[in-house]
């Protein structure tokens, strides 16, 4: 190559490189000036724009009589930047009296080189106002909302709790979290070099919207009553734990729901997190003989049996290759349907189920809401476990065992709602704990919702009569003088790997009163009682103790007085 050509080649190369660099620069300029223009403008504005998020006030939770069950309190946290504290000694002098902290400790903290340190938590408003008034450079006072439950442990499972970040968990707090928390406000404006918003600058204020307040269907007097009684029952019968559900069968409104042991939502972090789940809606159990109410309702409604139907109880029966025995391993001869309930005969009720047939039996079981959520307005509800003939793990013998509540797992709320359907003339109601939502000036009243008709009106009334007669025939400890009570005990064996526990049981009783016009339903569950394994000896008397106080609280006069009044 000639020298001139070489130079020309080099010039072209340099020009090409410079053109490429120019293109790159131009591209970058286009990117900054056009494509990412808004991003850089926003970045520049952010330099002198201040944005303050104003947290909303979380809504209150009250009982049906407007007693406060949960509310927010504003507390203040104090922090310090020791590096910019000009006079640690005089600051310590002033703070020690106000915070009730030793002066020496404060001097040690304030005289350090740390950039930032927390100094005190949970200060009152008066203290915080004093600190703001002093205006000491280097001290920061920050407000913080804390959820308080003034009744302590009362209704802890039902209410749930709110963590330090303001998020609601479990119960009402969890279910209605988005409604309770409200909407944060925002204040934006141009910032002065000292970090304050310039009054004459462009500013914008969106006020926070407080969360909705909830009025529950719970009556705190009933809640207190059942909590006291279930605690005494669990301790008295040497049980591990217990649960009670009280509801209005006509509306599905929960009047009280209690568990023992419980926890204090004010100090939830000190409790075992296994306690946070509400056993009444989250945990499933085998219901045992209480489930005979459902099987009998199905049998009566389908016309498979009537109250007068006589069956022969030989003490055992084979269903699908599995032998079913009565609880007492005895045969009771010819018995009618009321006796089947009164004596809680597994053989008798299994005959009702086989007379119904598997398809009709499980159709009715589903109609009563088993195997699916009740859709109660509480967090962490479980659906229970229901095997049906369509499933591979269902066996013919399940029809027999399911008829008396074995091999089927339900939640207490499912059982309560299903039995309430019998009390409510066959209509299955959706259970609910919120009666009214109050959001500002708006008020929404929750209306009772009928889920479906489980059985006919006649079936429900006939069965109620049979349940009353059965309790009276058995001289049940659930009976309350002056009132006709309908109900059924249950003593369920506890499933363990490979079968059932040889001695431990889960005792329960579901009943309602007054039988002719049911106003209240109570379900009592006592888990692993040791003084007696039978529901009739543990859950039934607990039901009576609760019922005799409930009639006073709910102002339900004895049948004689009430019926005389209505005549």
Strands 442-445 and 333-335, how do they pair? unpaired
Give the binding range for other proteins (CB under 8 A) out of 71-79, 290-298, 326-334, 427-435.
71-79
Adjacent-strand bridge partners of 204: 188
The least CB distance from residue 550 to other proteins, in Å, is 11
Should residue 105 be labelled a site residue for other proteins when binding is judged by CB under 8 A?
no
Residue 67 or 322: which CB sits closer to other proteins? 67
CA angle 477, 481, 487 (to 5 degrees): 50
- Please give the residues from 27 up to 66 whose contact with other proteins meets the rule CB under 8 A: 57
The least CB distance from residue 541 to other proteins, in Å, is 15
Is the distance from CB of 249 to CB of 496 less than 8 angstroms?
no
Question: How far, in Å, CA of 304 to CA of 286, rounded?
Answer: 25
Is the distance from CB of 284 to CB of 384 less than 8 angstroms?
yes
Residue 166 or 557: which CB sits closer to other proteins? 557
10 Å Cβ neighbour count for 430? 18
Q: What is the per-residue DSSP string for 308-362?
A: T--EEE-SEEEETTEEEE-TTS---EEE-HHHHHHTT-HHHHHHHHHHH-HHHHH
Should residue 129 be labelled a site residue for other proteins when binding is judged by CB under 8 A?
yes
Closest CA relative to residue 521, chosen from 227, 245, 224: 245
Site size toward other proteins (CB under 8 A) is 31
Residue 197 or 275: which CB sits closer to other proteins? 197
Should residue 229 be labelled a site residue for other proteins when binding is judged by CB under 8 A?
no
The least CB distance from residue 161 to other proteins, in Å, is 16
- Please give the residues from 391 up to 420 whose contact with other proteins meets the rule CB under 8 A: none
Q: Which of 154, 304, 319, 524 binds other proteins (CB under 8 A)?
A: 154
Q: Which of 47, 133, 391, 567 binds other proteins (CB under 8 A)?
A: 567
Question: How far, in Å, CA of 63 to CA of 256, rounded?
Answer: 10
Should residue 133 be labelled a site residue for other proteins when binding is judged by CB under 8 A?
no
The least CB distance from residue 224 to other proteins, in Å, is 5
The least CB distance from residue 266 to other proteins, in Å, is 11
What value does the CA radius of gyration of the chain take, rounded to a whole number of Å?
A: 34
Helices vs strands, H then E, count in the chain: 19, 23
Give the binding range for other proteins (CB under 8 A) out of 109-117, 151-159, 332-340, 533-541.
151-159
What are the phi and psi torsion angles at 473 (to 5°)?
-65, -40
Should residue 561 be labelled a site residue for other proteins when binding is judged by CB under 8 A?
yes
Q: Which residues lie near other proteins (CB under 8 A)?
A: 57, 67-68, 71-74, 125, 129, 148, 150-152, 154, 199-200, 220-221, 224, 482, 551-552, 555, 557-558, 560-562, 564-565, 567
């Amino acid at each position: 190559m000639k020298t001139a050509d070489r130079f020309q080649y080099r010039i072209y190369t340099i020009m090409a490189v410079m053109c490429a660099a120019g293109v790159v620069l131009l591209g970058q300029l286009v990117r900054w000036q056009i494509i990412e223009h808004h991003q850089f403008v926003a970045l520049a504005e952010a330099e002198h724009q201040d944005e303050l998020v104003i947290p909303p006030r979380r809504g209150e939770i009250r009982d049906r009589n407007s007693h406060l069950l949960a509310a927010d309190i504003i507390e203040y946290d104090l922090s310090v930047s020791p590096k910019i504290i000009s006079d640690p000694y005089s600051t310590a002098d002033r703070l020690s009296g106000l915070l009730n902290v030793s002066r020496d400790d404060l001097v040690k903290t304030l005289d350090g080189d740390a950039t930032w340190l927390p100094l005190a938590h949970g200060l009152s408003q008066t203290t915080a106002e004093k600190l703001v008034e002093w205006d000491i450079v280097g001290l920061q006072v920050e407000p913080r909302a804390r959820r308080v439950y003034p009744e302590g442990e009362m209704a802890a499972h039902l209410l749930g709790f709110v963590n330090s970040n303001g998020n609601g968990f479990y119960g009402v707090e969890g279910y209605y979290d988005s409604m309770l928390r409200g909407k944060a406000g925002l204040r934006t404006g141009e910032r002065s070099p000292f970090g304050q918003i310039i009054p004459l600058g462009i500013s914008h204020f969106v006020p926070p919207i407080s969360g909705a307040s909830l009025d529950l269907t719970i009556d705190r007097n009933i809640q207190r009553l059942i909590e006291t009684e279930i605690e005494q029952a669990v301790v008295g019968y040497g049980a591990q734990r217990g649960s009670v559900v009280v509801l209005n069968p006509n509306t599905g409104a929960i009047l009280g729901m209690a568990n023992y042991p419980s926890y204090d939502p004010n100090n939830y972090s000190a409790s075992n997190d296994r306690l946070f789940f509400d056993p009444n809606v989250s945990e499933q159990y085998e219901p045992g003989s209480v489930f005979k109410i459902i099987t009998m309702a199905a049998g009566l409604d389908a016309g498979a049996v009537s109250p007068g139907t006589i069956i022969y109880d030989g003490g055992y029966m084979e269903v699908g290759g599995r032998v079913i025995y009565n609880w007492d391993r005895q045969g009771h001869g010819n018995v009618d349907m009321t006796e089947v309930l009164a004596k809680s005969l597994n053989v008798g009720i299994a005959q009702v189920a086989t007379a119904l047939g598997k398809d009709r039996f499980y159709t009715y079981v589903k109609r009563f809401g088993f195997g699916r959520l009740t859709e109660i307005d509480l967090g962490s509800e479980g659906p229970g476990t229901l095997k049906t003939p369509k499933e591979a793990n269902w066996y013919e013998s399940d029809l027999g065992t399911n008829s008396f509540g074995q091999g089927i797992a339900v939640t207490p709320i499912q059982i309560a709602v299903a039995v309430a359907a019998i009390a409510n003339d066959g209509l299955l109601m959706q259970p609910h704990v919120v009666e009214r939502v109050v959001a500002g000036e708006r008020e929404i009243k929750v209306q009772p919702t009928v889920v479906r008709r489980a059985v006919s009106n006649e079936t429900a009334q006939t069965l109620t009569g049979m349940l009353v007669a059965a309790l009276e025939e058995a001289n049940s400890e659930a009976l309350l003088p002056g009132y006709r009570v309908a109900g059924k005990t249950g003593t369920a064996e506890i499933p363990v790997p490979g079968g059932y526990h040889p001695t431990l049981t889960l005792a329960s009783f579901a009943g309602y009163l007054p039988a002719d016009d049911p106003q209240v339903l109570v379900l009592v569950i006592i888990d692993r009682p040791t003084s007696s394994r039978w529901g009739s000896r543990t859950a039934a008397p607990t039901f009576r103790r609760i019922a005799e106080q409930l009639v006073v609280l709910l102002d339900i006069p004895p049948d004689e007085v009430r019926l005389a009044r209505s005549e």
